Chains A and B, each alone.
Chain A
Amino acid sequence: MLKILKYSFYDLMRSRWSYVYFGFYLLLGTVLLFLNNDLSKAVITLMNVIIVLVPLIGTIFGVMYYYNSKEFTELLLAQPLKRSSIFLGQYLGVAISLSMSLILGLGIPFIIYGLFKSNAIWDFSLLLITGTFLTFIFTALAFNIALSNENKIKGFGYAILLWLFLAIVYDGAFLMVLILFEDYPLDKLSLVGTMLNPIDLSRTLILLKLDISALLGYTGAVFKQFFGTRFGLIVSFLALIIWVILPVFRIILKSKKKDF
């Protein structure tokens, strides 16, 4: 698996897109710091961007990489390699290179600005960790979609729909449910609802850490009340880990049964 990871990673590092992504974050971090002139405020703005954008990039990139490397995959399949190592290697190659672009792209301007001397360092680290989680989750979901759809256009379509649903539609639908059933106790429901969407989960996780009650919203408030800040952080981390493991597990299962 490590060899495949090495080649996928190497392949991606040479592709233009990794640099575009890296450059974008570099620019974003720098601009935000200049506009806000304050590390903590920049972290909050950044959170709003990361939480929507990282899943989108992870999804598109994951699907694109899978379809583009079809030939490479077929070449590998005829070699004495396990299927699980081929696909896990490729998945990790994409996820790691995307995470690296994110971490380096945002990290460099913040470090130059004086991150290490500031007390925003933990908030910022948490932001990067959540961003990395989101990358791993959405790349894995994208690989799942691509593995299940031979047709590129369909695969892309489903991937975009998935992102649109989790990033935008889900919140709206969730709010509708909360309004419709406002006469009932809803705290359990909203807890489950948050867990079922990695984007919501990440947002809650970061806001819990930043301790900004005004931005927490109803679900966040329930979350905090139910778990408390520290336990809430642990629970949301665990939920994010499960969100990575389940799709990765399905990649392994699905790839074992697929015909090439």
Chain B
Amino acid sequence: MVTIQKLHKKFNKNVVLSGVDLTIKDGGIFAILGPNGSGKTTLIKSILGMVIPNKGDISVLGENIKNNSAYRYKIDYLPQIANFPSNLKVKELIRMIKDLRGNTTEDEHLIELFKLQPFLNKKLGTLSGGTKQKVNIVLTFMFDSELIILDEPTTGLDPISLIRLKDLIQAEKAKGKTILITSHIMSFVEEVSDEIVFLLEGQIYFKGSILALKTKTNQPDFEHAIASILT
């Protein structure tokens, strides 16, 4: 699904990724973890082509992504901070994204699911953080793409919406899709992910199942296993 070879990226003098090799196979939920500033978002943005790597190759579904934009039709991306043009209405934003990517009817079901109808005619600038995140989720999941990338999907969500999001993620997984998630909420990661990728100082420190991590670090629970890597 995604193959990354010897990926290097630095911002000015700050080395963020130094030689990341990663293969993500088809199907399943992969969590990308790591302390703050370990390069999670940079890695994700490199896959999306928003960050241009200094060195290395990335291919998504067998296509090299360099100087390519069409491959993004196969990716749904949920950005970390839901920053939308503030003078646009929710309805207009949804219509605009549909106009740019192709039509879908899935949005109606998602709006219903997250109870967004009262907000459709409101401007995005007036929405609360959680509501923006819900709009963000609608925009991400309304297309039926093979790869879904979620950057901190739980930010600002209330418990009910969180449950709905988890159901949504599981439903997508059941369709055989590949889902990449970054999150700082360890219980969320433990609950949803099949495999974790741990980034540390710009390299992949660990890749495997949560069980394997627990055995490796000799810790009974996931949170402590992660903590023991960092200490």
Mutual binders A and B: yes
Residues of A226-257 contacting chain B, CB below 8 A: 256-257
Q: Which of B113-128 contact A (CB under 8 A)?
A: none
Task: Give the number of residues in A that approach B within 8 Å (Cβ atoms).
Answer: 24
Q: Which residues of B contact A81 (CB under 8 A)?
A: 69, 72, 100
Closest A residue to B136 by CB, please name it. A75
If A79-B97, A81-B100, A260-B51 touch, does A11 touch B69 (CB 8 Å cutoff)? no
Task: Chain A residues near B112: list those with CB within 8 A.
Answer: none
Q: Of B51, B83, B84, B85, which contacts A259 at CB under 8 A?
A: B51
Judged by a CB distance under 8 angstroms, whether A213 is at the interface is: no
B49 partner residues in chain A, CB cutoff 8 A? 77
A10 CB, nearest partner CB in chain B, Å: 9
Name the residue among B11, B85, B87, B101 with the largest chain A CB count within 10 angstroms: B85
CB distance B50 to A78 under 8 Å? yes
Are A74's CB and B83's CB within 8 A?
yes
CB-nearest residue of chain A to B145? A80
Residue of B85, B100, B101 near A69 (CB, 8 A) is B85
Between B73, B83, B100, the greatest number of chain A beta carbons within 10 A of the residue's beta carbon is seen for B100
Q: In the complex, A7 Cα to B92 Cα: how many Å?
A: 10
Q: Is A152 an interface residue (CB 8 A)?
A: no
Bound Cα distance from A14 to B84, whole angstroms: 17
- Chain A residues, CB < 8 A from B99: 3
Q: Determine the chain B residues whose CB is within 8 A of the CB of A154 once the complex forms.
A: none
Q: Is A183 an interface residue (CB 8 A)?
A: no
Cα of A41 to Cα of B66 in the assembled complex, Å: 57
Residue of B nearest to A259 (CB): B51
Q: Is A188 an interface residue (CB 8 A)?
A: no
> 8 Å CB contacts to B: which residues of A66-83?
69-72, 74-83
Q: Which of B70, B79, B96 contacts A78 (CB 8 A)?
A: B79
Across-interface contacts of A48 in B (CB, < 8 A): none
Partner of B101, one of A77, A80, A258: A80
Q: Is A119 an interface position by the 8 A CB rule? A: no
Task: Determine the residue in chain B with the shortest Cβ distance to A83.
Answer: B69
Give the contacts of B23-52 with A (CB-CB under 8 A).
Answer: 45, 48-52
For the complex with contacts A71-B83, A79-B100, 17 further pairs of A-B residues with Cβ separation under 8 Å are A7-B96, A11-B85, A14-B87, A71-B86, A75-B83, A75-B85, A77-B48, A77-B49, A79-B101, A80-B73, A80-B101, A81-B69, A81-B100, A83-B69, A256-B52, A258-B52, A259-B11
